[in-house]
Copies of this chain bind each other. A is one copy, B any other.
């Protein structure tokens, strides 16, 4: 195995460096965050940092990098209080990834891709149509991460739209059955085809 030290990282081309560090944490969640601005412009953007924070209350977090296009998502969440999380699946990989392009805030990614918005239960933020799992979220709180000037944004799950056939008897949502994707690095997408469950573990 090769050893790459922090000091060596500093000598790499910046593209090489960001690819390496973005791949090294392992597979990431592949989600589209849907928002609507105060002026009624819909926004949809790919995020790979959505993380489970806790089940009771049901909380999810994501990391927001102030210098990226995802800033529109953050601004809309802060001004309206609501957003949606939609799972990227096998059939929309290319369109989902294209939402990472830096469009101006008056342009909706729904108009620049084949992705379609839909509204449900009078929730004000747009869901992404035909995604296997759609979550209605409400902003709760944020933390400024001093080490690199990013934000951890935490939201509460208000409700989930999910196809019953993906849920097993004990509440497990089978992402393989739903053809959900996972992200490797900045631009790699994989769709796992098999899985295995090992159950709750006790000391032996």
Q: Mark A86-105, 1 if CB is under 8 A from B, else 0.
A: 01000001100111111100
Q: How far is the CB of A134 from chain B (nearest CB, A)?
A: 8
Shortest CB-to-CB span from A49 to chain B, Å, is 5
Does A176 contact B190, Cβ atoms closer than 8 Å?
yes
For this complex, into which size category does the number of interface residues on chain A fall?
Answer: 35 or more
Cα distance A31–B199 when bound, in Å? 17
A116 near B: Cβ within 8 Å? Answer: no
B198 pairs with A194, CB closer than 8 A = no
How far, in Å, is A78 (CB) from chain B's closest CB?
A: 17
Is A41's beta carbon under 8 Å from chain B? no
Main secondary structure of the interface of A (DSSP, over half): mixed
Assess whether A121 is interfacial by the CB under 8 Å rule: yes
- For residue A175, CB closer than 8 A to chain B, the reply is yes
The B-contacting residues of A in range 16-74, CB under 8 angstroms, are 16-31, 48-61, 63, 65
Residues of B within 8 A of A93 (CB): 196, 198
Q: Which residues of B contact A23 (CB under 8 A)?
A: 171-175
Partner among B22, B27, B161, B202 whose Cβ is within 8 Å of the Cβ of A192: B27
Which B residues are in CB contact (< 8 Å) with A171? 12-13, 15-20, 23
Bound complex: CA of A173 vs CA of B185, how far in Å? Answer: 7
Listed from nearest, the 5 A-B pairs whose CB atoms lie closest are A26-B29, A16-B171, A190-B192, A19-B171, A23-B173
